Structure 1
Amino acid sequence: MMSRPQKYIEGEALHSQHAKSNNALKLRVAVLVVCVLLVSALVVTYLLFELLKTRENLRNLELKQKTIKADVTERLPEIKPCSTVQPTCPEPEVKIITQPCNIIQPTTPQPTEITTITQSYTMIPTTTPQPSEITTNDPCYECEDGWKQHGENCYFFSTRKSSWDASRTVCRTQGGDLVKIDSSEEQSFLRIAIQQKIESYDDLFWIGLTDSAVEGRWLWVDGSPLNESLTFWFFHDEPNDLTEEDPDGQDCAKMGPMYWFAISCKVTHRSICEKPAVALCV
């Protein structure tokens, strides 16, 4: 039989062993809890990042949707059935008459076939537009290679980017100037042409409009004042001459696939040059 002191010593050793085991278990549990908390924090952070990214994508999609919707709404009035717009459906006789003006001389005797066609042409109602109004490319005018014809003018859409002043210098060396927009029809022509040439939404073009001489007095490059009833600014309060990007303000105009924007003349953009087409008819 063991003595009493020896049993007491063995009890203390056993109690100490259990205490150490409990401490080790508590340490493992604490480490496990910390790991779980760290993993949870990482998951929450990732989810928040994905949420912000999704919201940004939604905003971009909504902006694109509004832009496309506005473009479609603006172009709807231009889309009409061919049967309801007779002038846009020229008859074969009209196509024959649209030869260069100096081919058929009024004083020259005409063969029977031409006389018949001429008689048929005179029967067309007086409300029918002339060929120059039907087509963009008037056969009596011609443009150089690389220039796009519209009516009696030629337009060049640059691929290189430069400031407003530098772009105007390039246009003038080619015998023209930065484009002056005189009508809604010309604005529509340029808008459609730009939509075919841009590579991104921020691919914009300088036009010949500035108020650099007198703030608030917008003039075209030929010195004529801007017709306030014929403007296509994007924002209702534009131009507003903000100075955040340039202390000199926003003194030049650029054009996108739909609207105009006022911006610093020092920014680099592509440009649209305009000059008269070469007359072929006498």
Structure 2
Amino acid sequence: MTEADVVYSDIKFGKGKTNEITSSSADTTYSEVKISKTKDPAVLPGDDSNESKTESSLTVALLVVAVLLAAATIALGVTFNRSTQTIQLLQKLQDEALKRNLTDRLCGTEPNNTLTLMCPKDPEVKRNETYPRCEEGWEHNGGKCYLFSTNGSSWEKSRDECKQLGGDLVKIDSREEQGFLAERLRVKMERAEDKFWIGLTDSKNEGDWLWVDGSPLDRNWTFWRSGEPDNWKEKDPDGEDCVAMGETGKIIESWTDGSCKTEYKSICEKEEEVGLYTITCV
């Protein structure tokens, strides 16, 4: 212990009887006591500024880690939500594509048979579904099936042939249907003069046009060629009481009246069928 670490102090001890206080200098004894300097007992070892800094740094680090974990959790949640939405969208598109594919492939099949298809997932999946269908040779559009005859026949004979197949000569109810038929005829017409009988006639009463189901022609849905109908009697004294369509270069307005005895091709129509099918994906 160095001299600098020693504190000198004078302590006076008084002589006297018990419980009596001394006051004279003769009764006083001096003693020298050395007291070494020590640190303030209130200050604990290691409780300094460096330790405080360490604790502050640790707190900051923990806060940073907590923030990063929270951000990662949010990012994972957003990613999972987007992935779920994507999967649902893909499933919907897949189902719609499968139905469209089945609608095309079911033509010509018999009800209650089994279809084996190549599916993108879930092998050996079997399920019963109902799908619209048209028989082989018939074309599907808007809930109906159409057959474009390639043989020339009179209007009455053409209608009989359609009935034998479960339908009738076509009844046109909308501009969309007329457009569909006109576009198909552009492909099927072999010659410019080719015509196709439709189910419209005024044979019962001249000028009163009726469809084959007995309903009158809606004047808002007529698609006559310019100048038609004209009931021309040059070739047939009975006039022109039946309607055909199929003018080259005409998309919509292509109806013309003609002699019901003329041998034209024809368009048959019937409702689509709905069958129950067991589908096996492999």
Q: TM-score when scaled to structure 2?
A: 0.52
Instruction: State the partner residue of 2:148.
Output: 157
Instruction: State the partner residue of 1:67.
Output: none
Q: Which amino acid aligns with 1:277?
A: E
Structure 1 unaligned blocks of 5 or more: 1-90, 102-112, 115-138
> How much does 1:188 deviate?
0.7
Change (3 A) 1:94 1:187: farther
Q: Which amino acid aligns with 1:224?
A: S
Give the structure with the higher percent helix.
1
1:140/1:279 contact within 8 Å kept: yes
Instruction: State the partner residue of 1:182.
Output: 173
Pairwise CA RMSD of aligned residues? 2.3
2:134 is aligned with 1:143:
yes
How big is each residue's C-alpha offset from its partner over 1:15-44, in whole Å with a ceiling of 9 and x where there is no partner? xxxxxxxxxxxxxxxxxxxxxxxxxxxxxx
How big is each residue's C-alpha offset from its partner over 1:49-101, in whole Å with a ceiling of 9 and x where there is no partner? xxxxxxxxxxxxxxxxxxxxxxxxxxxxxxxxxxxxxxxxxx75543232559
Alignment of 1:71-150 (within 5 A): 92=90, 94-98=92-96, 99=98, 140-150=131-141
1:205/1:272 contact within 8 Å kept: yes
Instruction: State the partner residue of 2:237.
Output: 247
Q: TM-score when scaled to structure 1?
A: 0.52
Q: Distance in 1 between matches of 2:198 and 2:213?
A: 12
1:176/1:273 contact within 8 Å kept: yes
Give the structure with the higher percent strand.
2
Among candidates 263, 270, 274, match of residue 275 of structure 1: 270
2:210/2:217 contact within 8 Å kept: yes
How many pairs align?
156
Q: Distance in 1 between matches of 2:175 and 2:241?
A: 23
2:262 match: secondary structure = coil
Q: Distance in 2 between matches of 1:231 and 1:243?
A: 22
Structure 2 unaligned blocks of 5 or more: 1-88, 101-120, 123-129, 278-282
With a CA cutoff of 8 Å and minimum separation of 6, indicate the structure with the bigger relative contact order: 2
2:228/2:255 contact within 8 Å kept: no
Among candidates 178, 182, 188, match of residue 191 of structure 1: 182
1:159 match: secondary structure = coil
Q: Distance in 1 between matches of 2:242 and 2:225?
A: 14
Q: Distance in 1 between matches of 2:205 and 2:94?
A: 52
